[in-house]
């Protein structure tokens, strides 16, 4: 890997950690995301620092993915960094296609921002709003400290989600016996489920984005490419949330 049906081999300790991660991504992460969303919605207005705590928890959880991935790699002599895509790209045409995909992703972010603005206008008039747009508004930073933590969470996610969902999960699923193409499809589905707390957009938007990133990973053979694309989207997202610069 990437990409073949050859089992790269995991040590006993790494296999246990891998199974824990697999169960977590299938059940724990969707449930945790949903619970955190509800927690922020209930406390955003009444509890100072609630959103900052949300960002901190997100950073801590996603950092733990990187740590577990490193432990799995270090405790499995047969598993190499190349098996997790940590190498220079061997093909460049998919990168050009990825640039087009990045443009599409940035366009989608612009639409979300536009929907959030419209939701704020309707809310100010006492009208009902779209739940997805409301959620974006709830989780967006409004102060400088919130914006700094939001930026940190986006950057960590840009690395951690690629390590887990693009590189590590397909390896784990191949180890447990799935063909590589099913393992890849399952990893994309699990990435979408991780964003189910965002409602229908969480399944559709991140699901399509995850499929694009996976295609880049497979096409180039390097995890560095989807990481850079993911970080590019993160920087753009942070730039679009400029409200924090105008608040103390």
Domain boundaries, the chain: 12-78+92-246
Band of residue 237 on the pLDDT scale cut at 50, 70, 90: confident
Q: Quick one: pLDDT at residue 191?
A: 95
Lowest mean pLDDT among 56-60, 156-160, 211-215: 211-215
Q: Quick one: pLDDT at residue 248?
A: 45
Q: Quick one: pLDDT at residue 112?
A: 58
Task: For residue 193, give Cα distances in angstroms to 66, 139, 168, 180, 196.
Answer: 19, 18, 17, 20, 5
To the nearest whole number, what is the mean pLDDT of the chain?
A: 81
Dihedral sign for Cα atoms in the order 43, 44, 50, 55: positive
Q: How far apart are CA 118 and CA 113, in angstroms?
A: 9
Dihedral sign for Cα atoms in the order 74, 218, 3, 195: positive
Percent of all residues in the chain with a pLDDT value above 70, rounded to a whole number: 73
3-class secondary structure, 209: helix
Q: Whole-prediction pTM value?
A: 0.83
Instruction: Please say if the pLDDT value at position 228 is more than 70.
Output: yes
Q: Quick one: pLDDT at residue 160?
A: 97
Q: Quick one: pLDDT at residue 62?
A: 96
Q: Please classify residue 185 by burial: count the beta carbons closer than 10 Å to its beta carbon, then call 0-12 exposed, 13-18 middle and 19+ buried.
A: middle
CA angle 8-13-18, nearest 5°? Answer: 60
Percent of all residues in the chain with a pLDDT value above 90, rounded to a whole number: 39
Q: Quick one: pLDDT at residue 236?
A: 79
Q: How far apart are CA 197 and CA 205, in angstroms?
A: 12
Are 230 and 213 spatial neighbours (Cβ–Cβ below 8 Å)? yes
Instruction: Please say if the pLDDT value at position 244 is more than 70.
Output: no
Tell me the per-residue pLDDT of 117-129, one tens digit each, with 9 for 90 and over. 555 555 555 544 5
Tell me the per-residue pLDDT of 110-157, one tens digit each, with 9 for 90 and over. 665 565 555 555 555 554 455 555 666 678 888 888 999 999 999 999
Instruction: Please say if the pLDDT value at position 247 is more than 80.
Output: no
Tell me the per-residue pLDDT of 26-81, one tens digit each, with 9 for 90 and over. 999 999 999 998 999 888 878 888 999 999 999 999 999 999 999 999 999 888 88
Q: How far apart are CA 3 and CA 246, in angstroms?
A: 47
């Amino acid at each position: 890997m990437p990409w073949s049906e050859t089992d790269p081999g995991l040590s006993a300790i790494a296999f246990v950690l891998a199974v824990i991660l697999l169960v977590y991504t299938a059940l724990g992460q969707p449930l945790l995301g949903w619970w955190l969303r509800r927690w922020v919605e209930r406390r955003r207005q009444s509890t100072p620092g609630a959103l900052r705590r949300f960002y901190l928890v997100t950073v801590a959880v996603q950092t733990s993915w990187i740590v577990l991935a490193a432990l799995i790699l270090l405790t499995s002599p047969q598993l190499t960094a190349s098996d997790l895509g940590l190498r220079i790209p061997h093909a460049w045409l998919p990168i050009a296609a990825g640039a087009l995909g990045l443009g599409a992703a940035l366009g989608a972010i612009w639409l979300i921002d536009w929907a959030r603005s419209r939701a704020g206008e309707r809310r100010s008039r006492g009208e009902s709003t779209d739940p997805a747009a409301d959620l974006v508004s709830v989780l967006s930073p409004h102060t400088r400290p919130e914006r700094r933590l939001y930026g940190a969470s986006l950057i960590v996610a840009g690395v951690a989600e690629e390590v887990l969902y693009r590189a590590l999960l397909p390896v784990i699923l191949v180890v447990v016996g799935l063909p590589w193409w099913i393992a890849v499809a399952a990893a994309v589905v699990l990435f979408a489920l991780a964003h189910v707390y965002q409602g229908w957009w969480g399944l559709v938007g991140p699901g399509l984005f995850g499929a694009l990133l996976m295609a880049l990973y497979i096409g180039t053979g390097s995890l560095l490419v989807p990481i850079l694309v993911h970080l590019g989207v993160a920087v753009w997202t942070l730039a679009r949330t400029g409200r924090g610069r105008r608040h103390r």
